[in-house]
Structure 1
Amino acid sequence: MAIVPRRTLAAALGALAVLGVGACGGTSSPPAGPATPAAASAGEQGPWTWTDDRGKNISLPHRPQRVVAQFDSAAALWDFGLRPVALFGPHRLKDGSRDRAVGEVDITKVESVGNAFGEFNVEKYASLQPDLMVAGMYEKNSLWYVPKELTEAVDQVAPSVGVQLSGRPLVEIIEKYGELAAALGADQKAASVVEAKNRFDAAGAALKALAAARPDLKIMIVAGTPDGLYVAYLPDHPDITYWGDQLGLNVVYPPKPSEGGFWELVSWENADKYQADAILVDARAASMKIEEMAKKPTWAKLPAVKAGQLYPWRAAERYSYLGYAQVMEELKANLDKARDDVVK
């Protein structure tokens, strides 16, 4: 989350992310081509309707063809076979390469409406002549990465679909994106979609087997900022909830989060408040790197840190079968290496 984090480190990581709050200037001609692989199908001729997670009813004379999506949503829809014409939010690194947060999206074939939190070029967006915008929501009724002060202007260009992300099971979120992609004309029986679902199921089964075989292996999920250590509160994170409640991983988490939910903020002096055999560290760019955190004395004394059992947490993963199959495969490989006797 480029970091008004996903699952809201909001103030702390958000402060790190809001480097540019204005929309970029300039416009460009809309790119040619349809938004979906089924652009010429007869299904486009009839009316299109959708009720989003705000309870907002969208009714259009034809199925939307020119879809613009927030990076996380764009990545999920892409995995389900839907090709947006543009996206916004982190997708291109400083060297021009693709940001991991945008998944498999070919950034050479989509337009950009903004590449950072707080950055949304309304003029560019309007010039693309979008039929529909899609964005996830962590705060109720608030489209992620659409600056609130620009909401009215954005709404005047095209209708939007909001997909609720927080307070919802992981699989349900993934299924919602699949349903939306199907409604927009993407083939959910395509080999790539079916293969991704099978891969997700297999990865989940492998993690569940590991959890059953190694119940004493304790894991904890954290993010670091100059303000302190954020320890993830399991019930507020769809992925961590899935791993703990559905797959049975032994997740160490606070009894309740700090104000705002999602995390408990612990001072660096008290970074040893919770301990686990293995720690997953937020891998987003705005979170402190493990090397930086190592300079904090209390953190450095944690058993998992001394044992070198620190692994990445893919906090900004897109909600698709392929995305979370990759995440769980990586997690399984890392936990296979971890000792479960680090915390005495």
Structure 2
Amino acid sequence: MEASSLPYHEPSIVQVLTLSSFGLLLNLTNWALERTIYCGLVGQILIGVFWGTPLGDWLDSSIEAAVVQLGYLGLILLVVAALGTSTSSDSGGSSISGATIGRPVGASLGLLLFVILACRWLVAPLHRHRHRSLRPGPTPTPTPANPPAEAARPALSAANRAFTIHTALLLTLVTTASYAGTSVLLAAFLAGAAITWSDNLSPTTTTTTTTAWTGARIYEHYYAPITTRLLTPFFFASIGFSIPITQLFAGSTVWRGIVYAALMALGKLLTGVWLLRFRVPGPKSLYPPSILGLAMIARGEIGFLIASVAEARGIFSPAPGGAEGSSELYLVVIWATVVCTVLGPVCVGLLVRRVKALERERTVDRQTYS
């Protein structure tokens, strides 16, 4: 017989201490590594490895499942806030049919087209009508026979109204994308793009820019506190739950991961070549192209997410069902992603420090000679 309610049981002191240390260390590790090697997400992933199933197994499976679900909310909000990269992963069995590929692609294009048309022919006219209706008209001079009327207070404040609209848009697009078979992250990207686009429709006066509740301001006010301190750390910790740390240090896995990381880094470094101007006479600075290329190396959360989803769906396995344990290809990808995620921010940080030091030296020299 199914229970009609969930009985309340007081957690033990061990569970309280485990969860407390888990939450605190996720934030402390992120703070420490961001200040030193600029890749706090790697520390949060390692906390997930040590506290979760791969190593410590100190968290119950039900708690890990809750962390995974809450962490995915954090990823969605990260994509909305940063207009981040959207990804779509789909897997089949031993063969991939045309419908398996065509449905998510068609649904993605359809969702993209729908959002563009809705913004152009629905949101823009409503936005213009709203601003015309809010434009103040001539105010009659108050007299004893015609006292000034008190303005009616709206049911929702401007901040709450914007928060409701933005949240409703995000949930609508995410739900539509999920049932249509396309990427939820694509829907989150489109929601963030639509919100940013609608913000640009507003008049760019000093008053509106300082008081208007834009998408960025709504995110910072409502979403950022819980996303930064709880949901995003949970997402990176959930990635750590899926990394088999005990299988990562086999000899063949290590050297293949390092070689793959070198190839990945080289491919991204080439993006900085476009900043080199060979036709410009005089000495050429290698700092701008180096910073651009190194900044592209870090794979970050999307790399771990794609690898984990692909492994869970059997894409890395040589046959449906695969062998016991994680596939070697998945371990190689994890190695390469970790190396690139650590190497990129560290190198960029060192170069930026060097550039700032050179700028300070030039400033001192100019002041000395002047």
TM-score relative to the length of structure 2: 0.21
Higher relative contact order (CA 8 A, sep 6+): 2
TM-score relative to the length of structure 1: 0.22
